[in-house]
Amino acid sequence: MKGFNEDRYYSKNPIMNYYFNKFMNEGIKLIGNESFILDFGCGESVLKKKLLDKKIVGYDINPELSDVKDYKKLKPDVIFCSNVFEHLTKEKLRRTLKNFIKMKPRYLVTIQPNEWLLFKLGGKLFRRKVYEEHILQRHEVYEEVSKYFKLITNKPILLWTIHVAKWEIK
């Protein structure tokens, strides 16, 4: 998603802004009182802007957006992944999850779109083609994540178009 500026995109469209803030705020609730968070796939650092009282380190495939070069050297309490895993191949997702396990976070918080008709219709309605770049569907992501992490909470948001989940290491 090189060049996509999620923060600026959503602020232009009040409906998408509501949608984005709704699932981000639900994800933030799952962080709880943990103080050190890795925002994996941080993009425009929206999480850092929303949680000024927490230590948040952002990592993104785009080095210009990252706070660190190598996220694997961190020991966060929580790893936060919003709309990231669906862009990875299964092999890349497995490698990433294995790296997360070595980091020993207390929790993993994921926000995953649900690839079904309403999600795709919304994308067309708001002229968003990001879903066309998705490699994995939510059930495939959950299948891989569940090999390494135990699902604690899974909450569908806004007519099940996106799921917010909290996981712990098995």
The answer, yes or no, to whether residue 158 has pLDDT greater than 80, is no
SS3 for 59? strand
**Cβ atoms of 97 and 144 closer than 8 Å:** yes
41-66 average pLDDT score: 94
> Taking the domains of the chain in order of start, what are their residue ranges?
6-169
Q: What is the pLDDT of residues 55-64, one digit of tens each?
A: 999 999 999 9
pLDDT of residue 84: 93
Q: Which residue has the higher pLDDT, 45 or 14?
A: 45
Rounded to the nearest angstrom, the gap between the alpha carbon of residue 83 and the centroid of all alpha carbons in its chain is: 4
pLDDT tens per residue, range 1-43: 333 344 444 556 676 677 778 889 999 999 999 999 999 999 9
Q: Which residue has the higher pLDDT, 144 or 22?
A: 144
- Compute the distance between CA of residue 116 and CA of residue 62 in angstroms, rounded to an integer: 29
Q: Please say whether the beta carbons of 2 and 49 come within 8 A.
A: no
The top-level CATH class assigned to 6-169 is: alpha beta
* pLDDT range class, residue 159, cuts 50, 70, 90: low
Report the pLDDT value the prediction gives residue 9, as an integer from 0 to 100. Answer: 45
Q: What confidence score (pLDDT) does residue 7 get?
A: 47
